[in-house]
Structure 1
């Protein structure tokens, strides 16, 4: 299908508009006519819900400590909010995870960027509808009129949508809640890079996200040998031996690592080498992939899944990172940090990576470190929250908030505790509970 081919389309579900005001400044202070034209154009293209949530965002590289959000206004057919965030992509993933059942419609007004494009591809492969605006020629401004939007809006991958009435079953679209009944088989020859739904894993499991620049691997070891060392060390410390490892490399600078990225997967182990870019880019991608992992492989019981993060970038983080890591912790995953320090970060040591875990590991917590007794108390105090399809809700806090009048009006991306711009809302630093050496770290075993 060509980029300019017309596609018959009808969607009855919610449409979210993400507008990067750094790339495309708002043409007027009067929001009503601008958003009215967007809604009219979407209606012609087949998006027939009749209401839009608009997120005007600015990505500020220096806003790690503070994430701000403001209510900009509400009209008959829209709610608008303004955000200053380090990166918008994780909010998109989270929104796709907690809304439903069924896919989300995304209309993205932003210039192409590496991680944004990757995340939108990930959302598309998971059956969400992604609509983009074609950038204007250099030196020209984009006109946010109905005609301009109709001329320049394209589906990701090509095609101009135009309304065509479909059968009711098509218009209501695929119900994502049925994914739990669809098992994705593992193909050991395939690199699992989150570009599509990852293979199905049930029961106790351990997911490892490893910054291979912060924590280098033994230089002469094969991928299978690296995986065996990591999995053996974790299994010895009572983690589930159903282990998958994602390792992130600086593909712009690491020539040796690039050889692992470009070719076919020739090893049998569940270790996958992914391009991460520079330090800041790796941190953003790792967080995005953690939430894609949680979305694709939801836990069945509390704390049956452990998430182990090897990196030195998150300790002492505030604002954006603190809030997102807190959300993973609130989803009842065991979240373990392993921070490399100079005296233990030696991949050529015969004790690697056991020493790295024993002396660099800490559990994530905001109020108190997780413990078996605390977990039992949680289980006894409250029932497992289930959605209408029987799945544990991934975003319990968001769902509770959605009952409030403020969120019913459309505020569905919240800054979260620790992301306020006021002094009262200044976040606590990540509380880490150091672990005693030679102890059993994992809480669930096969």
Structure 2
């Protein structure tokens, strides 16, 4: 396939080399600990999956530790058990170092323990329903760089999953339903050997049939940074970390194009360990063909293609295409280490990811629709933020007003009340089955103001749960921005909800200004 064939199918707007976007700086981020070094937090719903009365808790604890070791999670573990139906005594639980929280709320505790600077390994027992609020919370935590492991007892043939470490491992899944993904590599996957077109087709088709989205990296090793046994493993780690920082938490397949010509056969083991797939140079065009046809996920190209060729790839939104233009000092000793570092890779990346333009390590900031991804702020954002969480079931907006008019009315009330208002965002929680603010307001944002309508479920408790969970996700994203948290809801209902009210009490002890308002004070029309 030649350049003309490719250009008819895929495109991305190539950024002018003089352009430097405002927005999120992708190159400034914490260097998170590896999965093996992160703390392990085990959350067990003993109502959904009880511990049998005859089970030896010490053996259960030993099995969990053995499973974590097999998964490569070597740090210490903390086990929390939720639910008031326990057949073991408090002493037995304490002696086994299992913390029983009969009145605790699992999702809230997960969110409270999330740390933006040091992500964790969260192990949840049993696997929640994919349509549940807990599953939504776990996806939000994964997007914030925490590892999520779900134990699914339904795939176990024996009476009790925790009889052995191996049975736990066999039942452990990722959020996408496949085996867990650690550092962009799915557990149990072997590095395929690609010798011809048939084996390359098999790779792409197996990826496309698997769960979740898979990112591909086309790395032309003949043009940039010949891999060696000493650098190929850190290169694989650096590239995968860069894609994770962008928000891709699925598998990453790195194709080293032409590697068989510039590397020694005896180095094949190092490529296998790094899960970098050596591809004969003659299959480059075939790899493009397969990617364009199957579109399995994002594509990163190293080094960048010829600018004229890239300009011909002009259909924004159809593909996530990322082009890495290495530093100009190619050939120097520093050149070898460039691909070891995610922040250096991102600093030289242009293209689009999930509809957002990326240029020179900066990502365009667009409207924040919900909390499925981290809330990001422009570098150097000034002025105090006001974040409003509004329960529309308790206090509906006046009929006949547009979202922009509603935003303006709320803003005016805050200013008149003496708020220091630099930026304001509003999330309004609606009944997603009934009510005038559902429908298109949930799916199609056509207004300019930063007001967002989110489904809260069909009953008041579900709506308060989602609002509370989103507030805690907001807390994870917020540091170090100064902010007021304003909750517009029925105060009596909040007080009656012990989990909600106690959580607000904890938040009030943080350097945040927590205010509960009634909706009647905002609109006098």
| Contact 1:205–1:305 under 8 Å retained in 2 | yes
| Contact 1:15–1:53 under 8 Å retained in 2 | yes
Which of 180, 200, 203 aligns to 2:377? It is 200
Shift of 1:29: 4.7
Classify the secondary structure of the residue corresponding to 2:167: helix
More helix by share: 2
Distance 1:193 1:318, change over 3 A: closer
Which of 77, 96, 99 aligns to 1:81? It is 99
- Could you give the per-residue CA deviations for residues 365-401 of structure 1, whole angstroms, max 9, x where no partner exists? xxxxxxxxxxxxxxxxxxxxxxxxxxxxxxxxxxxxx
Match of 2:120 in 1: 104
What CA distance in whole angstroms lies between the structure 2 residues aligned with 1:355 and 1:266?
25
Distance 1:287 1:10, change over 3 A: closer
Shift of 1:154: 0.8
Match of 2:49 in 1: 24
What CA distance in whole angstroms lies between the structure 1 residues aligned with 2:236 and 2:411?
45
What CA distance in whole angstroms lies between the structure 1 residues aligned with 2:497 and 2:455?
25
| Contact 2:494–2:501 under 8 Å retained in 1 | no
| Contact 2:42–2:122 under 8 Å retained in 1 | yes
Match of 1:152 in 2: 171
Match of 1:339 in 2: 518
- Number of equivalenced pairs: 316
Shift of 1:245: 0.2
What CA distance in whole angstroms lies between the structure 2 residues aligned with 1:270 and 1:39?
46
Match of 1:53 in 2: 78
Shift of 1:90: 1.4
- Could you give the per-residue CA deviations for residues 383-436 of structure 1, whole angstroms, max 9, x where no partner exists? xxxxxxxxxxxxxxxxxxxxxxxxxxxxxxxxxxxxxxxxxxxxxxxxxxxxxx
- Could you give the per-residue CA deviations for residues 31-87 of structure 1, whole angstroms, max 9, x where no partner exists? 1111211211121122122x2100000289xxxxxxxx9993255xxx310112363
Distance 1:355 1:333, change over 3 A: farther
Shift of 1:130: 0.0
Match of 1:226 in 2: 406
What CA distance in whole angstroms lies between the structure 1 residues aligned with 2:91 and 2:508?
26
Which of 140, 144, 150 aligns to 1:122? It is 140
Shift of 1:137: 6.6
Matched, 1:43 2:69: yes
- Could you give the per-residue CA deviations for residues 316-362 of structure 1, whole angstroms, max 9, x where no partner exists? 3364333211111111222111135xxxx4xxxxxx72559xxxxxx
Matched, 1:268 2:448: yes
Classify the secondary structure of the residue corresponding to 1:11: helix
Structure 2 regions of 5+ residues with no counterpart? 1-33, 181-186, 190-232, 246-341, 348-360
- Could you give the per-residue CA deviations for residues 71-116 of structure 1, whole angstroms, max 9, x where no partner exists? 93255xxx3101123631111011013xx74210011003424210
What CA distance in whole angstroms lies between the structure 1 residues aligned with 2:454 and 2:159?
36
Match of 1:294 in 2: 475
| Contact 1:208–1:244 under 8 Å retained in 2 | yes
Match of 2:227 in 1: none
Structure 1 regions of 5+ residues with no counterpart? 1-8, 61-68, 346-351, 357-446
Shift of 1:20: 0.2
Higher CA-based Rg? 2
Classify the secondary structure of the residue corresponding to 1:257: coil
What CA distance in whole angstroms lies between the structure 1 residues aligned with 2:93 and 2:495?
32
Match of 1:279 in 2: 460
Q: How does 1:41-440 map to 2 (within 5 A)?
A: 41-49=67-75, 51-58=76-83, 72-74=93-95, 79-85=97-103, 87-97=105-115, 101-113=117-129, 114-136=132-154, 142-144=160-162, 145-161=164-180, 162=187, 185-188=364-367, 191-200=368-377, 202=381, 203-239=383-419, 240-254=421-435, 256-261=437-442, 263-277=443-457, 278-300=459-481, 304-312=482-490, 314-317=493-496, 319-340=498-519, 345=520, 353-354=522-523
Classify the secondary structure of the residue corresponding to 1:131: strand
Distance 1:70 1:82, change over 3 A: farther
What CA distance in whole angstroms lies between the structure 2 residues aligned with 1:33 and 1:70?
16
Classify the secondary structure of the residue corresponding to 2:479: coil
TM-score of the superposed pair, with normalisation by structure 1: 0.62
